[in-house]
Amino acid sequence: MRATKCFAWYLALAVGLLMVTACATDQALRKQQAATARELGEGYFGQGDISAALREFLRAEKLYRHDPYLYYDLGLAYFAKEQFESAIESLKKAISLKPDYAEAFNALGTVYLRLKAWDKAIEGFNKAKDNLLYATPYIALNNLGDAYRGKEDFGTAIEFYKKALDDNPRFPNAHRGLGLVFMALGDYTAAVSCLEKAVGYAPRFSLAWFDLGRAYALQHQTKKAIAAFEKVIMIDPDSRSAVRAREEITKLRAADTGR
C-alpha cells in the first residue's frame, strides 16, 4: 500500500513537472515568435510602411506583452499615424517595463512636443538627458531647445541648442533650431548663418531649406529665397512644406514683378 501511494505521489509530481516544463516551453516559443514579429515590423517601419509595421507590432503584442522594446516600437508607429494618445500609452508601457529606457522618455517627450504640451515634453527630455547611458544626449538636448522655443523662452532654448552642438557640432536639427530662434528674435543675419549650416550638414533637410528661404526673404534676398524654396520642392515634392514653398515662390515673384 505504501509503495502504491509513493508511486502515485511521484506520478503526480512528474505530471506537474511536465506541465510546468510545457508551459515554460510554450512561453519561450511565444516570446521568440513575438520577437520575430517585432523585428519584421521594425523592417517595415524602416522602409516607411507604417501600416505593415503596426500590424506586425500588434501581432507581437498578442503573443508577448512584456517586451519594452515592442511598446517603444508601437509608440513610434502610433506617433507616425498621428494616434497620439495610443502613442503615449504605448511609450508609458515601455517605461513601466524598463524604467531607465532613455529612448522611450525622449520619444514620449516628442509626442508631447507635437501636442504643444511643453512642460510634459521637457520632463520627458530631461529624463532622457539625465540617463548617463543614453547614447545620443544631443538629441534630447536639441529637443529641450525645441520645447523652450515653443514656450518662447528663447534664452533657455539657445542654451540647450548650443549644448546639443557642443555634444555634436554637425547636428543639423540644432543649427536649424538656433536659426528659428534668431528669426523669432529678428536677427535674420544670424538666422541665415545657422540655417546655412543646417543644410550644409544635411543637404536633403527640406524643412531647413524652407526656413532658410524664409530667412532670405526677410533679408529681401529674393533670388536666394526662391532657390531655397525650389530646393524644398525638389527634395520632397508631395510634402506640406513643398505646398507652402510654392506659395512663397508665387508671392515673391508677384512682389518682384510689382516693384
Nearest to 81 by CA among 35, 39, 123, 114: 114
pTM: 0.86
pLDDT tens digits, residue range 69-98? Answer: 999 999 999 999 999 999 999 999 999 999
- The model's confidence at residue 120, banded by pLDDT at 50, 70 and 90, is very high
- pLDDT reported for residue 255: 86
Return d(Cα 4, Cα 99) in angstroms, integer: 53
Do the Cβ atoms of 41 and 78 come closer than 8 Å? no
Residue 218's identity, in one-letter code, is L
- pLDDT reported for residue 143: 98
26-35, 51-60, 139-148 — which is least confidently predicted?
A: 26-35
pLDDT, mean over the chain = 91
Return d(Cα 100, Cα 95) in angstroms, integer: 7
Task: Give CA separation, 144 vs 85, 129, 157, 158, in Å.
Answer: 21, 9, 7, 10
Domains and CATH numbers, the chain: 170-259 (1.25.40.10)
Return d(Cα 119, Cα 111) in angstroms, integer: 12
Residue 12: burial class (beta carbons within 10 Å; 0-12, 13-18, 19+): exposed
DSSP H or E stretch at residue 42: helix 2-46
Contacts of 162-171 spanning 24+ positions with Cβ under 8 A: 163/138, 164/138, 164/139, 165/138, 167/137, 167/138, 167/141, 168/138, 170/201, 171/138, 171/142, 171/201
On the question of pLDDT at 9 being above 70, the answer is: no
Residue 63's identity, in one-letter code, is L
Do the Cβ atoms of 191 and 176 come closer than 8 Å? no
- pLDDT reported for residue 42: 95
2-11, 98-107, 238-247 — which is least confidently predicted?
A: 2-11
Return d(Cα 56, Cα 197) in angstroms, integer: 39
Task: Give CA separation, 114 vs 56, 83, 121, in Å.
Answer: 25, 11, 9
Compute the average pLDDT of residues 219-230. Answer: 97
**Grid coordinates 534630447 are at which residue?**
140
- The model's confidence at residue 259, banded by pLDDT at 50, 70 and 90, is low
Going by the DSSP 8-state scheme, the letter that residue 78 receives in this structure is H
Compute the average pLDDT of residues 24-42. Answer: 86
- pLDDT reported for residue 26: 72
pLDDT tens digits, residue range 126-165? Answer: 999 999 999 999 999 999 999 999 999 999 999 999 999 9
3-7, 97-101, 112-116 — which is least confidently predicted?
A: 3-7
pLDDT tens digits, residue range 185-194? Answer: 999 999 999 9
- pLDDT reported for residue 24: 53
